[in-house]
């Protein structure tokens, strides 16, 4: 299966469990990986035969820069659900990282990863 990758997207958002996170906001790092069949695009060299990367990027930006959420899980789910609206996408993997988190010790980032797919593809695969 082929993959489309959008890695290292950086957005500013106002999400978190604590009111201060939602008031002050912070940087979020987003990675997206889509599993799909790209053979038609390979053969045609036509943008109509592949997933719209710009639309996916814009949706991720809208989700992260938009309305505040408590959980990163809900943000990642919205991005994955958008990607799966394109019937060519079999599964969507989304990672969201928060590099600036108030924790009692040092860490590079706090984050989540989710994978969502089409039920019929998962059952057959």
Which one is catalytic: 98, 99, 121, 124?
98
Considering only residues 103 and 66, tell me which one the structure prediction assigns the higher pLDDT.
66
**Nearest by Cα to 86 from 59, 61, 62, 50:** 50
Domain containing 95 equals 2-124
Full strand arrangement of the beta sheet holding 2-13: 2-13, 26-36, 89-98, 110-117
Q: Is the pLDDT confidence value at 105 over 50?
A: yes
Token pair recorded at residue 2: 């082929």
Span 47-95, pLDDT tens digits: 999 999 999 999 999 999 999 999 999 999 999 999 999 999 999 999 9
Q: Can you read off the two tokens belonging to residue 31?
A: 């990675």
Mean pLDDT taken over the chain:
92
Assign 29 to helix, strand or coil. strand
Mean pLDDT, residues 9-26: 92
pLDDT category of residue 124 using cuts at 50, 70 and 90: very low
120: burial class by Cβ within 10 Å (0-12, 13-18, 19+)? exposed
Query: Is the confidence at residue 103, as pLDDT, over 90?
Result: no
CATH number of 94's domain: 3.30.1130.10
Say how many domains are in the chain.
1
Predicted structure pTM score: 0.90
Q: Is the dihedral of CA 48, 50, 51, 53 positive or negative?
A: negative
**Residues of the chain above pLDDT 70, percent:** 94
Respond yes or no: is residue 98 known to be catalytic: yes
């Amino acid at each position: 299966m082929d993959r489309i990758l959008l890695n290292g997207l950086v957005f500013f958002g106002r999400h978190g469990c604590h009111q201060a996170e939602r008031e002050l906001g912070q940087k979020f790092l987003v990675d997206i990986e889509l599993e799909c069949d790209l053979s038609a695009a390979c053969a045609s060299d036509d943008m109509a035969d592949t997933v719209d990367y710009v639309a996916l990027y814009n949706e991720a930006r809208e989700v992260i820069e938009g309305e505040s959420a408590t959980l990163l899980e809900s943000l990642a789910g919205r991005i994955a659900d958008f990607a799966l609206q394109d019937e060519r996408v079999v599964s969507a993997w989304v990672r969201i990282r928060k590099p600036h988190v108030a924790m009692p010790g040092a860490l590079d980032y706090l984050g989540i990863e989710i994978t969502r797919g089409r039920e019929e593809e998962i059952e057959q695969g």
